[in-house]
């Protein structure tokens, strides 16, 4: 999946996460979380796994987390990626929206 523009999904409300995806030359992930110490690593792993699952090798992903559960982060990240790629090629059958 090719990222062609900047897009966001989610919000800064409690329990949610704001994900911003920018076009970039390689993979950059920036994370800011209200529970950085305990979950920073886990968030990064989830982001990396999702990017790989969706075939994204170049993007700048900025995550501003307000305590979102894993599946919420995944949903917001996928939404931002699809928007940033201007794609609607959802593949619900493949166990993920990838």
Strand order in the sheet with 59-65: 7-10, 17-22, 59-65, 27-33
The residue written with tokens 């409690």 in the block is 14
In whole angstroms, the minimum distance from the beta carbon of 4 to another protein comes to 10
For position 65 contacting another protein by CB under 8 A, the verdict is: no
> What would the two tokens of residue 91 be?
């593949």
In terms of CB distance, is 38 or 92 closer to another protein?
92
Alpha-carbon distance values, 24 to 34, 40, 84 (Å):
26, 22, 11
Among 56, 74, 85, 98, binds another protein (CB under 8 A): 74
Residues that bind another protein (CB under 8 A): 5-18, 20, 22-23, 30, 32, 62, 64, 68-72, 74-76, 78-79, 82-83, 88, 90, 92-93, 97
């Amino acid at each position: 999946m090719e990222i062609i523009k900047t897009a966001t999904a989610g919000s800064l409300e409690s329990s949610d996460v704001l994900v911003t995806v920018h076009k970039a030359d390689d993979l950059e992930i920036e994370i800011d979380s209200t529970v950085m110490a305990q979950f920073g690593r886990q968030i990064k792993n989830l982001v990396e796994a999702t990017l790989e699952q969706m075939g994204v090798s170049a993007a700048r992903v900025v995550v501003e987390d307000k305590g979102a559960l894993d599946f919420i982060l995944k949903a917001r990240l996928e939404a931002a990626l699809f928007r940033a790629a201007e794609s609607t090629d959802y593949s619900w059958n493949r166990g993920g929206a990838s």
